[in-house]
Amino acid sequence: MRGNGELSLRVASELLYESSPLSEAPREFSPTCHWRHVDPFVGAEAADLPEPVGLASAWWMAKPVIGNTHPGACRPFGMVSAGAYSGAYVTGYGRYALSLDGLPATPDRLFEGRTALGFSHFHHSGTGRIRAYYNYFLVSPYTGDFAGAVGQRSAILSEEAQPGYYKAELDRPEVVAEVTVGERAAYHRYQFASPGGEPRGVRVDLTNGGLRIEGMRTRPGEVEVEIDGGSGRAVGRADMDGILIQFEVLAECGGAACPARLWQGREPRAGTALRMAPAGDEADPEPFGVYFEAPAAAVEPLCLRLTFSLRSADQLRANALREAAPVCFDSVRDDSIWEWERRLGRVRVEGGTEPQRRTFYTALYHSLLKPADCYNENPFRDADGPIFFDLATMWDLYRTQLPLMLTFYRNRGRNLVNALLDIAEREGNFPISYLMERAPERFGRQASALGHVTVMDAFVRGIPGIDWERALRLMAHSINKDVRQQFVGEGLVHPVSHTLDLAYASFLTAQLAGALGHSEMAATFGERAGFWRNAYDPGSAMLIESTFYEGEMWNYAFRLFHDMAGRIGLFPTEEGFVEALDVFFGFAEPPPDWGGTRFEGLNNEPDFETPYAYIYAGRHDRTADVVREVMEQKFAATPGGLPGNDDSGALSSWYVWSALGLFPVAGQDVFLIGTPLFDRASLRLERTFQIRAHRAAPSHRYVISAELNGEPLDRAYLHWRTLAAGGVLDLQMADRPNGWASAPGARPPSHPAPST
């Protein structure tokens, strides 16, 4: 889009952003559009789920029972977001203070009601304590005295949200505020209640960042801005958490540009430029920025556009040329909605109830908010290419959300893998977390070598455009380096969950090496893949004593990996493995001296793949029981409808997969068949693949027979090539199990190490 208000095709190609030309955006949307089922407010409040009953009443809550989401305007995998800012934990939206454990269930409140200091940009979604909290460039409307309005907190009288759009009515000043987003810009529109008379305008605070909670503010480094009085344009840069964000601000009212002026502290400031040196580690900086006032007689809304680049001033100019004029708010909003419709439309479900469809499409929406695709916006080197941020909790994302991206949004997935390879080459290792900051530590304590899983997810799906020899070299180097040398030399590293991570990464590296013809490397890493056994006590068949992050021994004990047959074989019998799972999930009472912890019920993610472990022991019915109880008791289409932190869509994407009746085994060419919630689901892959659940009903959770393209299917898993080729999976559902997929030959694939 151009900056003169005329609409044009995007410069960005389908391969870069998977975007459609703006000319395709419809002026009217069908009542059946998928985005109409999305409620962006889901997860933004403390859980209001019913008291758990039955199986779910035995589960453990380790973390706050709140989704930590926000309803602000975003695009699918978008770089820019915009929404109301109160300064509350953890996204800047809402009313809650810092809360890190599950008791009490309702987090402490900073504010009784919904309030806003203005509207900020760049937000996390669903995370917990992550060190960098964004919320930059705070835009606040004001009327009357400029000084008296600085720092004024307004009550939000009402608010609305839909994908790509947010609206709020404020009491002081009396104004209706709207925000939407383009590819590299945020658009604001402010309609004041009393046009004319006293001054009316918007103020942009260039120093805002982080949360209004002790220890969670962002203290910017150097910030500078320069205004052009003739065009009303303000341009500058701000060092936020070590990332130099280039920005441009424009405002228009009634078709005319609003002049940009400077302010500092609580007063307007003369001149054309301002600069702030770093404020230090303790002191909050004196706020300053630019402001724009509407003409005295204007009745039209004041429209604002903020354009960003993380890379350079030249890239900022290119981004601004592709964006629309500030007054093109409605066109940009419609285009954003259409982008969401295209992404959500990759999956179509039929049947179920309207609340279930709202829960499903809201979960899919939350699954597509992160990671943030910042293509051509690499702040670390001046070069074109992919770069992603907000892989905030990759130890959660790698099992559900990233496989979803690689399955349904393959171009984006290809770019993500290439970005991970660039990071591994530049920084010496694959990240475990990657935020928009310059931090030397990437949350390595949570897990190890998760990038290997995402790379192999791309490989087994046949995603083109990736240098697999380069990937193999970086995967091998990552396992061989630093503290992981203890794993290589001794076959064990603590926490023992890292031993499982590294053994699985070794298996994946061996698989890729073998596929590329490197037999010696395949043998070396194949042997290391067997080191997973060192993490288990042969006597108890459970993990050895260690420390565990956000969970306990049992929460990590049944994860899905490459040698599930060997894992089950640690027990005297297969039934013994099932009995241990039964205790974990609450089907059976634990022994008196047990001392373990049960399933976290998706309040947290360390064990959220474990319900599917039953399938490896021929007990598909048990998987159906647990998965249905989670879907029915732990999710709802309400602001309090999530059982825990959404963690950048990891939690929501679990629901998406499980409601479809599939679950990916991350890193492997295996999709487990679960218990579909809907009568029919159509998956738009390379071809359309349908899942039809016959006699589906709340009481019919068990699969009693299956057909794949008309042929009987007696196993509870599929391969990628089957899904990609298109076809139909027919599942006959019933209220009682009959042992489907329980025969020994129906187990999902297992890959023992050569030495075992």
Work out the pLDDT band at 101, boundaries 50, 70, 90. confident
From first CA to last CA, the distance across the chain in angstroms is 60
Q: What is the pLDDT of residue 103?
A: 64
Pairing verdict, β 185-192 and 302-309: antiparallel
Question: Does residue 468 lie in a domain region?
Answer: no
Work out the pLDDT band at 439, boundaries 50, 70, 90. confident
Q: What are phi and psi of 528, to 5 degrees?
A: -65, -25
CB-based contact 646:124 (threshold 8 Å): no
**Rounded to whole angstroms, how far apart are CA atoms 137 and 65?**
30
Question: Does residue 134 or residue 146 have the better pLDDT?
Answer: 134
The CATH number of the domain where 245 resides is what?
A: 2.70.98.10
Question: Does residue 607 lie in a domain region?
Answer: no
How do residues 324-373 score in pLDDT, each as one tens digit? 999 999 999 999 999 999 999 999 999 999 999 999 999 999 999 999 99
- Work out the percent of the chain whose per-residue pLDDT is above 70: 93
Q: What is the pLDDT of residue 127?
A: 95
For the chain, what is the radius of gyration of the CA atoms? 26
How do residues 680-692 score in pLDDT, each as one tens digit? 999 999 899 999 9
Question: Does residue 201 lie in a domain region?
Answer: yes
What is the token pair recorded at 616?
A: 């490896």
Average per-residue pLDDT for the chain: 92
Say how many CA atoms lie within 13 Å of 306 toward its Cβ.
31
**Rounded to whole angstroms, how far apart are CA atoms 697 and 626?**
16
**Residue with token string 């959404």:** 646
Q: What is the pLDDT of residue 650?
A: 97
Say how many CA atoms lie within 13 Å of 329 toward its Cβ.
28
Work out the pLDDT band at 492, boundaries 50, 70, 90. very high
Q: Which residues contact 490 (CB under 8 A, 6 or more apart)?
A: none
Q: What is the pLDDT of residue 196?
A: 63
**Rounded to whole angstroms, how far apart are CA atoms 423 and 416?**
11
Q: What is the pLDDT of residue 59?
A: 96
Tell whether the model's pLDDT for residue 521 goes beyond 50.
yes
**Rounded to whole angstroms, how far apart are CA atoms 716 and 96?**
43
- DSSP class per residue in 714-733: -SSEE-HHHHHT-EEEEEEE
Q: What is the pLDDT of residue 750?
A: 96
**Rounded to whole angstroms, how far apart are CA atoms 401 and 314?**
34
Question: Does residue 186 lie in a domain region?
Answer: yes
Q: What are phi and psi of 671, to 5 degrees?
A: -120, 115
Q: List, in sequence order, the alpha helices (H) in 260-375.
A: 313-322, 329-344, 354-367
Question: Does residue 226 lie in a domain region?
Answer: yes
Question: Does residue 282 lie in a domain region?
Answer: yes
What is the count of structural domains for the chain? Answer: 1
Q: Which range of residues forms the domain containing residue 314?
A: 64-98+106-327
Question: Lowest-confidence range among 30-34, 66-70, 272-276?
Answer: 30-34
How do residues 7-62 score in pLDDT, each as one tens digit? 222 223 233 334 333 334 444 677 789 999 999 999 999 999 999 999 999 999 98
Question: Does residue 238 lie in a domain region?
Answer: yes
Q: What is the pLDDT of residue 100?
A: 84
SS3 235: strand
pTM reported for the whole predicted model: 0.95
Question: Does residue 266 or residue 646 have the better pLDDT?
Answer: 646
**Rounded to whole angstroms, how far apart are CA atoms 219 and 148?**
24
Question: Does residue 219 lie in a domain region?
Answer: yes
